[in-house]
Amino acid sequence: MPGNRQVVIANVPTGPLEPSNFEVREGDALAPGEGQVLCRTLALTIGAGQRAGLQGSASYAGAPVSGVVMGGTGIARVEESRAPGLAAGDIVVAPTGWQELSVHDGAGLQRVEAGIDPALQLGVLGTNGLTAYFGLLEVGRPKAGETVVVSAAAGSVGHIVGQVAKRQGCRVVGVAGSDEKCQLLVKELGFDEAVNYKDPGFRAAFKAVTPDRIDVYFDNTGGDILESALFRMNLRGRIVCCGVVSQYDTSNPGPGPRGVPGLLVNNRVRMEGFLVFDFAARYGEARRELASWIERGELAPRVTEFKGLEAAPRAFVELLHGGTIGTTIVRL
């Protein structure tokens, strides 16, 4: 029986996440029961929202505990099947967690085409691409000619939001944490403007790149960037509350921004949160459309890759510190 290396939560973080919050251990051998499959993880994706999952009750995922395998989504190959409709060699998307092997009920698994790169399946065709697609198009509802602003713009969700808004005919402004990221957004991903929120002159620069103010603000960060956007919203603007990454890597999230609800009232702004799972019935349709945009060269997804299961904690820390671009993938 093959071994099963696993990354477990050694201790729940009380301050900024560190690799030492995790440890690698050898897990017990696994065998699938009736209706189940044994899977070998090929690649994992790490998302910023997983840090919220380690924060406790504020997250929809519930309170975190130590001593368990870190959760997460992976692309895996079926090694052994006792489930109808699945055979050894099939490739599936599964809640593998950070481990080499995992057992799942066959009924809940999604089979994917073997020839497609796991980085694509986990990135733009996975949860974060779908989040960008539905959050922007269904919650933000941008119209051609409108100004769309997105924060964490070079990240997994953000870089797709900006490119989809561009193909909707919008003027797109990205907010990111380095000049290199801002350059990439404009020069390679087609954003009209990008501003670095870490620059001391951010507020003035932000104002300068939104001369017609903002119609749709896609908020991945909350915090100061959300506050800046609130003060620039147009009449009947929409704020898409996707996530709050500025408040994840801490045990003491800051208070909400100024301007709520006063500015929402005055400008009749709609501020709406969503979870991508709300749109689960339409994932197939969205994946087909996103794939067709990639094929036509209208969408260029990016990934940052790490090699080996042991790299997962470091990849997570780097993601939170702005060290990755696009979707963060760990290949096993």
Ligand X SMILES: NC(=O)c1ccc[n+]([C@@H]2O[C@H](COP(=O)([O-])OP(=O)(O)OC[C@H]3O[C@@H](n4cnc5c(N)ncnc54)[C@H](OP(=O)(O)O)[C@@H]3O)[C@@H](O)[C@H]2O)c1
How far is the C-alpha of 81 from the C-alpha of 328, rounded, in Å? 29
Window contacting ligand X (CB under 6 A); options: 24-32, 98-106, 163-171, 218-226? 218-226
* Residue 290 interacting with ligand X (CB under 6 A): no
Footprint on residues 32-61 left by ligand X (CB under 6 A): 47-49, 52
Size of site (CB under 6 A) for ligand X:
34
Structure tokens at 90: 């099939």
* Residue 220 interacting with ligand X (CB under 6 A): yes
Structure tokens at 215: 């119609």
List phi, psi (to 5°) of 54: -90, 0
Per the CB < 8 A criterion, the answer to whether 227 and 246 are in contact is no
Q: Which of 30, 176, 205, 214 binds ligand X (CB under 6 A)?
A: 176
Which CB atom, from 106 or from 243, has the smaller least distance to ligand X? 243
Footprint on residues 106-135 left by ligand X (CB under 6 A): 127-128, 131
How far is the C-alpha of 226 from the C-alpha of 284, rounded, in Å? 31
Tell me the three state secondary structure of residue 221. Answer: coil
Per the CB < 8 A criterion, the answer to whether 44 and 329 are in contact is yes
Structure tokens at 109: 């698994």
Sign of CA dihedral 279, 285, 287, 290: negative
C-beta of 317: minimal distance to ligand X in Å?
11
C-beta of 112: minimal distance to ligand X in Å?
19
Q: Which of 178, 183, 234, 250 binds ligand X (CB under 6 A)?
A: 178
Q: Which of 152, 170, 194, 216 binds ligand X (CB under 6 A)?
A: 152
How far is the C-alpha of 66 from the C-alpha of 322, rounded, in Å? 25
* Residue 304 interacting with ligand X (CB under 6 A): no
C-beta of 92: minimal distance to ligand X in Å?
20
**Could you tell me the CA-to-CA distances from 248 to 22, 160, 237, 298, 316 in Å, in that order?**
17, 21, 26, 32, 12
C-beta of 287: minimal distance to ligand X in Å?
15
Which CB atom, from 35 or from 322, has the smaller least distance to ligand X? 322
* Residue 64 interacting with ligand X (CB under 6 A): no
Per the CB < 8 A criterion, the answer to whether 142 and 240 are in contact is no
Sign of CA dihedral 206, 191, 293, 287: negative
Which CB atom, from 102 or from 221, has the smaller least distance to ligand X? 221
C-beta of 193: minimal distance to ligand X in Å?
15
* Residue 157 interacting with ligand X (CB under 6 A): yes
* Residue 245 interacting with ligand X (CB under 6 A): yes
**Chain positions contacting ligand X, by CB under 6 A:** 47-49, 52, 127-128, 131, 152, 154-158, 176-178, 181, 197, 220-221, 223, 225, 242-246, 274-276, 319-320, 322, 324
